Amino acid sequence: METVRFDELELAPQILRGIQEMGFEEATPIQAQAIPVVMSGVDVIGQAQTGTGKTAAFGIPVLHKVDPSSKKTQVLILSPTRELAIQVADELRKLSKYMHGVRVLPVYGGQDISRQIKALKGGVQVIIGTPGRLMDHLRRKTIRPDHVNTIVLDEADEMLNMGFREDIETVLEYLPGEHQTVLFSATMPKPILEITRKYQHDAVNIKVVKKELTVKNIDQYYYDVKRKDKTEVLTRLLEMYNPKLSLVFCNTKRMVDELSSELTTRGYSAEGLHGDMKQAQRDRVMKNFRSGKTDILIATDVAARGIDVDDVEAVFNYDLPQDDEYYVHRIGRTGRAGRTGKAFTFIKGKEVYKLKDIQRYCKTKILAQPIPSSDDVAQIRTEKIMNQIENIIEEEDLRDMIDLIERQVNESDYTAMDIAAAFLKQALGQAEGAGSAEEGDSYDFDNTGAEEGMVRLFINIGKKQRVKPGDILGAIAGESGMPGKLVGAIDMFDKYTFVEVPREYGREVLEGMKNVKIKGKSVNIEPANQK
Ligand code: ADP
Ligand code: MG
């Protein structure tokens, strides 16, 4: 799905101005494909779903062909209903707002024909009409077909459904030999193909059908999360559900970079993907993700276009998508091939209204969920481990292991229950990552006198050693992998320094700084002790 700007389509500046004023930013896929082809003058069969901008897809190139200096009728557009004819006329008027001398008129049944005849008298180059009424005008010669060079059958399937086939053919028979015939429709039933065969020559087929993006097999949840807590909640959900592959969406390239470095720092195998990266780099990231070498891919919507990986078990909307359709595209990456996927969306406060729109758009339910506590995480992990254990008991040969445990039970005071419990604790501890208390030193972060959420660290180096705050900051950022901007207050004294870092990074900073030299001097760093 490549995006095309209207200014890439070689349109006249007056039309571009009209388009701009309508607020269209980029061409829809059917517009991007159809505009150049229709403009080239050949016959076209265009198919795209309702609401994809088919009107402008033929309207723009057709207007481009109109000669404003001639008052003769040059374009006929057939439309199934009065409402649609008026709608198309409105859109073409807006598009041609800056094309001086171009007149656009809808004609339809049910409106007093003499009024229409009066309106036609001044010379109208573009006429949009229901088939019956157009036929009527052609018969009365109140519309003359001699200079018509383009005819458009819009919403052709609708027109046939309404029984206009004969009227359409009658109108087509009125036209002079040389003209371009363009047909647009959401669907292409057989009778349409018969018409195209009869009335078009070497027509070019343009078909844009959206891949059916289903949200059926996807459990969807949302969490009301403060901005600063998003990463923490994300990691808890990752721990809880332990998805094989996860896709995390952010709205900006910067956020992608930030989050991938945050997750990597926390020991996850994550990589970012965005438009600023070189193609080779992107290919490498995708290859790693596809092969499972990285389990978490963090991407922007644009970069994620075309990603087609089957084993994505969870999609996270770290940022709420800016467009309802993006939501479907994003979460459609999971729940493939009959599997069940999960989609988690983070919102903050008022964004819940946008979520309502999304639910209406996708005809789906997104359920509110409380933010999981660390107890919830442990419980889910336990269940998961127990399930695995059950499988092992049922399916594997455990005789040697049972012998070993038996010996342990006989030689010690422990029961088999004690040993099983210890194994479970170990399994859970590992699952909670390197930061668990079983590994390395334990630190007291509760009495450092730091502000809420931070820890205050003591470093035995200060102004006397001609150390500057920047040196401390640099050392911390460089050694621990924690982004330097997360470093809080730095208080320097003659012989020592206090520095605050977010609590969740406390351990990493302490471990990382163990063998660091600042200004050539080995330093000792430990949690400050308020008491
Ligand atoms: P279709 O005929 O395919 O059902 P329409 O031509 O009626 O779709 O367009 C549907 C809506 O999308 C209209 O409100 C139209 O103004 C708008 N639209 C068309 N093209 C664009 C575009 N490139 N960007 C934004 N909105 C567009
Ligand atoms: Mg339409």
Per-residue pLDDT of 74-109, as tens digits, reads 999 999 999 999 999 999 999 999 999 999 999 999
DSSP string spanning 188-215? --HHHHHHHHHH-SSPEEEEE-------
Which ligand is nearest the CA of 84, by number? 2
Protein residue with least CA distance to atom 18, ligand 1: 53
Mutate to test the pocket of ligand 1, among 8, 15, 22 (most ligand atoms within 8 A of CB): 22
pTM value > 0.75: no
Task: Write a three-state SS string for 100-144.
Answer: CCCCEEEECCCCCHHHHHHHHHCCCCEEEECHHHHHHHHHHCCCC
- In short, whether 130's Cβ falls inside 6 Å of ligand 1 is no
- What is the per-residue pLDDT across 282-293, written as a single tens digit (0 to 9) for each? 889 998 998 989
Q: What would the two tokens of residue 130 be? A: 């229901």
Residue 289: Cβ within 10 Å count: 25
- What is the per-residue pLDDT across 355-368, written as a single tens digit (0 to 9) for each? 888 888 877 889 99
Which of these, 354, 374, 370, lies nearest to 362 by C-alpha position? 354
Q: What would the two tokens of residue 506 be? A: 């406390």
pLDDT at 302: 77
- CB of 101 closer than 8 Å to CB of 77: no
Length of the chain: 531
Protein residue with least CA distance to atom 22, ligand 1: 24
Q: Lowest-confidence range among 242-246, 480-484, 503-507?
A: 480-484
Average pLDDT over residues 241-252: 91
| Closest ligand 1 atom to Cα of 52 | 3
What single DSSP character describes residue 318? S
pLDDT beyond 90 at 131 = yes
Residue 38: Cβ within 10 Å count: 27
pLDDT beyond 80 at 315 = yes
pLDDT at 438: 38
Which ligand is nearest the CA of 154, by number? 2
pLDDT beyond 80 at 214 = no
Which ligand is nearest the CA of 50, by number? 1
Protein residue with least CA distance to atom 2, ligand 1: 54
Distance, in Å, from the CA atom of 31 to the CA atom of 34, rounded to the nearest integer, reads 5
- In short, whether 18's Cβ falls inside 6 Å of ligand 1 is no
Distance, in Å, from the CA atom of 306 to the CA atom of 286, rounded to the nearest integer, reads 11
Mutate to test the pocket of ligand 1, among 7, 28, 210 (most ligand atoms within 8 A of CB): 28
